[in-house]
Amino acid sequence: MYVSLYTAASLDMKIADTSHTVEYLDWVKTPEGEDYGYHEFYQNIDGLIMGRKTYDISFELGGGQWPYTGNKPCFVFTRSDTIQHVDENNVSIVNSLDEFIKMGLNDRFWLLGGGELVRAFLNRDLIDRMIIHLFPVVLGDGIPLFPDGTVSKKFMLSEEKKFENGILELRYEREI
């Protein structure tokens, strides 16, 4: 299994505001035709992994529709046994990281987040690569990408790209 965290974040490493909205992503104007490498990245992953809160928000952002194309398998982490919207989109529910590891999957996954699930993966040393689009905004209070309780871990900066609107793409690989 190869896990890539691919996410946007503010300068203070928040992924959403306290209301769980990502309006800050619209504070910066995206040049015509720019997708920040999303298409290429998405082509090269086999499946998605996300926490239940990110799953709920994904539907909201997609206007009630599943926003991810290609019918790629999606694993949604939840400790609860009630979850909305399941099934039609190749979604599987996972109750723990141990359960997921036991599946023995050998795919390339996009870990979408949110922070709680990032913490769980990082604490088990399961993140191979991080691609972070750093937005030139400070959010203040908000949902952290790396919440309290995340372990310390060193990564290696492998690539950086500066976009003309001030967004910085930072790619980090795990140190072996």
List of residues 6+ apart from 110 with CB closer than 8 A: 4, 6, 41, 42, 45, 47, 48, 49
Stretch of 32-40, 116-124, 153-161, 168-176 contacting ligand NAP, by CB under 6 A: 116-124
Choosing from 115, 122, 127, 132, the residue that interacts with ligand NAP (CB under 6 A) is 115
Minimum CB distance to ligand NAP, residue 112 (Å)? 5
Choosing from 4, 5, 45, 77, the residue that interacts with ligand NAP (CB under 6 A) is 77
Judged by CB under 6 A, the number of residues near ligand NAP is: 26
CB 173 within 8 A of CB 154: no
Distance CA 8, CA 126 (A): 19
CA nearest to 142, candidates 61, 51, 24 = 24
Choosing from 3, 51, 75, 110, the residue that interacts with ligand NAP (CB under 6 A) is 51
Contact letters for ligand NAP, residues 132-161 (x by CB under 6 A): -----------x------------------
Amino acid at position 164, single letter: E
3-state secondary structure of 137: coil
Choosing from 3, 5, 48, 54, the residue that interacts with ligand NAP (CB under 6 A) is 54
Distance CA 56, CA 91 (A): 13
| Pairing status of strand 168-174 against strand 129-134 | antiparallel
The yes or no reply on residue 7 touching ligand NAP (CB under 6 A) is: yes
The yes or no reply on residue 129 touching ligand NAP (CB under 6 A) is: no
Residue 150 DSSP one-character state: P
Binding site for ligand NAP (CB under 6 A): 7-8, 15-16, 20, 22, 51-54, 57, 77-80, 95-97, 112-117, 120, 143
